Amino acid sequence: MHQPAISDYGFISDCRSGALVSRDGSVDWWCPDRFDSASVFCRLLDPAGGHWRIAPLAASRVERAYRPDTLVLRTVHHTPEGSVAVTDALAAELGARGHQLGMNSPAVLLRVVEGLTGRVRMHLDFAPLPEYGLLTPYLHEQPDGGVLATTGSVALVLRGDGQVLRVDGDRVGHTFEIAAGQTIGFDLAYAPVYGPPAARLDPVATLAETARAWEAYREAHHYDGQYIPQVRHSATVLTGLTYARSGAVAAAPTTSLPERTGGDRNYDYRYSWLRDFSMTMDALWVAACPHEASRLFAWAARSIGRIGDAPVPVLFGLEGERDISEHAYPHLRGHAESRPVRIGNDAWRQRQLDVPGEVLAAVWRLHDYLGETFDEELREMVVGLAEQVAAMWRLPDRGMWETRDTERHYLSSKVLCWVALDRAVKLAPRLGDRADPRRWAAIRDEIRATVLREGWNDRIGAYTGAFGSAELDASALYLPVVQFLPATDPRMRSTIEMVERELGTDAGLVRRWNNDPAGFVLCSFWLVECLVMTGQRDRARALFEKVLGQANDVGLFAEQIDLRTGAQLGNTPQALSHIGLINAAWRLTDPTTA
């Protein structure tokens, strides 16, 4: 079976879970209970992994786009017989408006087929394989013409307006015609076997209601900077990656899409990373509202809990779960034969010294919103993180890119230790008697001196990725973003120029290191920010627009872009890529932003 490219997928969400829909009309990924639950379709990771396709029988030319300010995806197929549109969405709760979006999503996948011209023969192919393809369900024809699929703990009910669906072995194959002006709605409802029955909704009416819910949500969030359409779309993607019940933002809705085709760097990103925290907070502050930022902050504070001797994990489950141990699924072939397929992410076990800096930078971002006096739990968290950094900053760690080899003294980790204590010193008046700003400031200054001495490489003429290393690393671009050094500092400016020359490409992409075969989208947007901060606004704008051109046809970014082919790589859509877009657009709008 054909397996589409990563860039062929559009993303739909109900702020509980996400689904990926290919250009050829196939839903190839859906984890209906929540983003990090087991899938019922996983053709994304194996050509035989289960899917639900609706498309013309004849070959078609495809155009697709999101309804503005929504994650309602409309795909138009032009065939020799005529044209037809298929509109896909995950249903919002009826009547949901504003911040209610996603709080009580019914877990229903909507697909509405609309005849535009002529008379087009369509085919529906429904082949669910729950639990990442480990289970083959029983399919039962229903009196109303629908089909019930049950296995393990999963029940799925497929229905179509006026359609009688027939079971053929372990799938449903159904051919129908649609004429210009005619509309046929299909819905697929999920429910746990041992719980309430699956919701029954009118797919056409619910699709319209879902679009209104998204539009109302975006209308309540204003962005007044440059590149308004792109920023609003990226903000909508971030909303779609938010698990509404907790406020956590998933790094991506997918697992194991490869960073290198055929390689083994295939990781599960369906969790929320504290390392991304301050960047995410900045993006929400710019393109959403304080409510969204404060909900994410509250989730992080609850997830971190009381600070002990162990380092705070770099990531958590969407409801604050700490143990998300990693398992390989050898029965899946992987996307483009890229193995292993992983469920869970063992990065939660790593020592990541940059985490407290990201959290305390976010506290500083929100400090006026949080009030002049912090409550006891917030005071304890800030003081605990500051003390942890004071005790641990000299240790090596795994670094920003979560290497799975030897721990090192990574530059970005030490800089984020400086950020943690710098922000803690600024927050000290709100922290009560346990605050120790004089000692924190002394350690902060020691960290700074160490970074300036050990992180600089005279031969390279740049700050490198780790102390004593001669290898350039694009993470050095983060130093001006977190205000460790001004971008105009002579050594920092030299580093920016070296990264652009040695790690940059004509396409505007920036690799993380020299032997990286792909551009890392976030690093490209960091370079935009650095160019703005060095006064090179025209070059920054040109670079920003080049990177925008690397998005797929519906404005989505995966994690990386292949330098040779331009193909998207890694999990998609990637929150950090869209966060980088928002923050770079705001930097172009207001170069003094911090």
Cα separation, 460 vs 472, in Å, equals 8
Query: Residue-wise pLDDT tens for the chain (594 aa)?
Result: 578 999 999 999 999 999 999 999 999 999 999 999 999 999 999 999 999 999 999 999 999 999 999 999 999 999 999 999 999 999 999 888 888 888 999 999 999 999 999 999 999 999 999 999 999 999 999 999 999 999 999 999 999 999 999 999 999 999 999 999 999 999 999 999 998 889 999 999 999 999 999 999 988 888 999 999 999 999 999 999 999 999 999 999 999 999 999 999 999 999 999 999 999 999 999 998 778 888 999 999 999 999 988 899 999 999 999 999 999 999 999 999 999 999 999 999 999 999 999 999 999 998 888 888 888 999 999 999 999 999 999 999 999 999 999 999 999 999 999 999 999 999 999 999 999 999 999 999 999 999 999 999 999 999 999 999 999 999 999 999 999 999 999 999 999 999 999 999 999 999 999 999 999 999 999 999 999 999 999 999 999 999 999 999 999 999 999 999 999 999 999 999 999 999 999 999 998 875
Phi, psi (5° rounding) for residue 558? -80, -165
Of 285, 192, 290, 288, which Cα lies nearest the Cα of 240?
Answer: 288
Of 439, 386, 449, which Cα lies nearest the Cα of 415?
Answer: 449
* CA torsion angle 20 25 26 32 (round to 10): 50
Q: How many CB atoms lie within 10 A of CB 507?
A: 15
CB 144 within 8 A of CB 159: yes
Sequence-ordered alpha helix ranges (H) in 396-473 = 411-427, 437-454
What's CA 419's distance to the chain center, in Å? 24
Q: 6-219 maps to which CATH number?
A: 2.70.98
Helices (H) and strands (E) in the chain, counts: 14, 25
DSSP state at residue 232: H
What is the Cα Rg of the chain in Å? 24
Per the document, the length of the chain is: 594
106: left (phi over 0), alpha (psi -120 to 50) or beta: alpha
Name the packing angle between helices 277-287 and 290-304 (round to 10°).
160
Phi, psi (5° rounding) for residue 352? -125, 100
Cα separation, 97 vs 410, in Å, equals 45
DSSP state at residue 75: E
pLDDT of residue 1: 59
Cα separation, 174 vs 152, in Å, equals 25
pLDDT of residue 594: 59
Q: Give the H or E element holding residue 378.
A: helix 376-392
Return the CATH number of 228-589, one of 3.30.230.10, 1.50.10.10, 3.40.50.150, 3.40.50.800: 1.50.10.10
Domain boundaries, the chain: 6-219, 228-589
Tokens of 215: 């539009």
Q: What residues contact 128, with CB distance under 8 A and at least 6 apart? A: 40, 41, 50, 52, 137, 149, 156
